[in-house]
Chains A and B, each alone.
Chain A
Amino acid sequence: MTAYVIKRVLAAIPVLIFVGLVTFSLVHIAPGDAANIMAGDYAGPDDVKKLRTELGLDKPIAEQFVDWVTRTLRGDLGKSIFSGQSVGQLVKQRLNPTLSLTIGGGLLAVLIGIPLGVVAAWKSDTVVDRIAQVFAALGLAVPGFWLGFILLWMFAVNFRIFPVIGFVSIFDDVGGFLRSVTLPCLLLGITGSASLVRMTRASMLEVFREDFIRTARAKGLGEREVLFRHALRAGAIPIITVIGFLAAGLLTGVVVTETVFTIPGVGRLVAEAVQQRDFPIVQSLLMLLASVYVAVNLLVDIAYAYVDPRVRL
């Protein structure tokens, strides 16, 4: 197991180096002069020049890269060209809402998606299965930002149960916190669970076709026992992999969700930085989110190998 973990961690390093290369190149693949774009339409030549020196864009590219790598490894992620705040500061300020939403939304997605997928496979070709499949098909097709808009319109504008915008920290007011995160978490939960339903159902269907399930039924076990004592145990293993997909869904979902519900989190920061073409922020956030994504997938792989020894070979 230790050997496997080391192997996987080592395999993640070239991926991260590549991620860094892509992230670094972003500024340089911009058509025209990056400093010019960032300075905006109303900047004079002096402003552009100043910004260029500030960002080190006038140095040779190799030197810039080395600078960038050493700074990043030290944890200095650069600062916004608009507010002048460092990325670390900005992310720290905005981490609370984003963590609340991803944890809440992720839990909800798992709680809806996995049981629904298991039941759909267990009762395959029944009404329950059809409902689960329609739910999954709709969840994959309906864009999150539009579904969020509908939720907001129904529960915040019409029934006035939840606030239309904003986020309340759990440390300030628990009731207000719950009301401010319910709709965003519901949105992340619904959109996240759609693919979970599909993948869980598919992997459970495979388990139900296995010989040991037939044996269990043949020796006279009830359906309930077949499901809980045999099928679920074997089926739980492949389901772990869907958590990786869920992580990708949450990372992108949070950008859209925080925009729809006007929540000042990291996702909103991504959207704003991209709109303003605030390159240092875009770069650091891309690097940060991609690293989180790589780390989650690494953990999923290791967890998988832990429960299924065959993978380690």
Chain B
Amino acid sequence: MKIDPECRYRSTHEYARKDGSEIVVGISDHAQEALGDIVFVEMVEVGKTVAQGEAVGVVESVKAASDIYAPMSGTIKALNTALQGDPSLVNKDCYGAGWLLRMSPSKPAEWESLLDPAAYEKETGKD
């Protein structure tokens, strides 16, 4: 299992990585491996404002469909449109080309409420 040391995580397996004033959101390597072959990704619309923990989309694999929750409160700035044509990018490169969406956080302090890489590694060990 790969853990990106630059990211923070939720126990529901989303990651957030800071990029300037925005964050990039995706699912962890552990999550993509547990889900299996991802066949469809559906996200909310750009411009929508969501609270931390609110559902922002669904990642569907051949065996399950999982909701994706916002790691932080804020506004959706962009979606990874490449996933519409090739959802398997999430399996191949979840921290890179397989990102899900970009958000502009409205409550930067929420960053500290997320799990750091060491804590997330410990968390996933519990599964």
A and B interact: no
| Chain B residues close to A by CB (< 8 Å) | none
| Chain A residues close to B by CB (< 8 Å) | none
